[in-house]
Amino acid sequence: MPKITKAIIPAAGWGTRRLPITKVIEKSMLPVGNRPLVDYSVQELIEAGVTDIYMVISNVEPCQVRAFYNDNIALNQYLADRGKEDRLKLAKTLPDNVKIHYVVQDPSGKYGTAVPVCMVAEEYNINEPVFVFFGDDFVWNPGGESAAKSLLKSVKNDNESAILGVKVPKEEVVKYGEILVEDGKLAKITEKPKLEDVKSDLVHVSKYIMSPALIQEMIKYVHENDFGPLDQEYMATDPLETFIENGGIVRVAPTTGQYLDGGSIEGWVHANDVVCGNK
């Protein structure tokens, strides 16, 4: 099992599905329980050994994600003066040994899940395996193994990639990307298949470990295609398919956790119900 210390978290975009609230609250900062959406991924990645997080954000000011992970000196002093040590610990949202690197994505530029991976890998010259977790969803598994640790356990060396597989009722597969598995490895992904074509109850939820070779495939895909804003998105699953067709290994990591998505109103309400113990 390799040691992975870097993670990419795409958290940019306008969050148009959640308007009007995303006019004033960044999508990844929408609260689930007493924490923002993105923090569920951040904390589990830290627990899995990540020390460098590359957060892809929008070019908006003030940036709420930055504010959340920065120390608030005035608040800390207020809590210390009043002896509220328990609250002081809660206000520290990032350990001293972890650094977040912020990468600003131009909303008028190329769009899609492969783009932020390409941006970070090129800007920071990343040539090692990285976690890729998106900022508006997470896997809830209190007392069990996190999605990050499940992915980590599934790969044998730095040359293997992995994708998280989540079981859902077959009638719900049509809302996701269907995963077909052979010998524990990814064989095919079909985005939003027709119900009559569904062969598996396993879907992907954009939680990955990407090897250096897979990252290079993402970069190649973004640079060699010129999709217009009305054509199609630069989806990470497209170069992923090319990668496995060319013999790349992508392990499928199972999870016993519950996938929670804050991108829609219904998903966000459900996530709050689950985390707060109402379901």
Q: What are phi and psi of 48, to 5 degrees?
A: -85, 0
- In one-letter notation, the amino acid at residue 120 is V
Beta bridge pairs of residue 10: 56
On whether residue 127 sits in a domain, the answer given is yes
Per-residue model confidence (pLDDT) at position 279: 63
If DSSP codes are grouped into helix, strand and coil, which group holds residue 197?
Answer: helix
- For 127, other C-beta atoms within 10 Å of its C-beta total 10
Amino acid at 7: A
Distance in angstroms (rounded) separating the CA atoms of residues 247 and 115? 23
Measured CA angle at 200 (ends 152, 178), to 5 deg: 65
Q: Is the pLDDT of residue 241 over 90?
A: yes
The DSSP line for 139-155 is EE-TTS--HHHHHHHH-
Q: Report the chain's mean pLDDT, rounded to a whole number.
A: 93
Instruction: State the total domains in the chain.
Output: 1
pLDDT tens for residues 94-145? Answer: 999 999 999 999 878 898 999 999 999 999 999 999 999 999 999 999 989 9
pTM of the model: 0.95
Q: For residue 88, which amino acid is it? A: L
Q: Are strands 161-167 and 185-191 parallel, antiparallel or unpaired?
A: unpaired
In tens, the pLDDT along 51-64 reads: 999 999 998 888 99
Q: pLDDT above 90 covers what percent of the chain?
A: 80
- Residue 1 resides in a domain: no
The boundaries of the domain holding residue 246 are 6-275
Position 186 pLDDT exceeds 80: yes
DSSP string, 78-113: HHHHTT-HHHHHHH--S-TT-EEEEEEEPTTS--ST
State how far Cα 182 lies from the chain centre.
Answer: 25
Band of pLDDT at residue 272, cut at 50, 70 and 90: very high
Q: What is the CATH number of the domain that holds 186?
A: 3.90.550.10
- 236 domain-assigned: yes
Predicted pLDDT of residue 193: 87
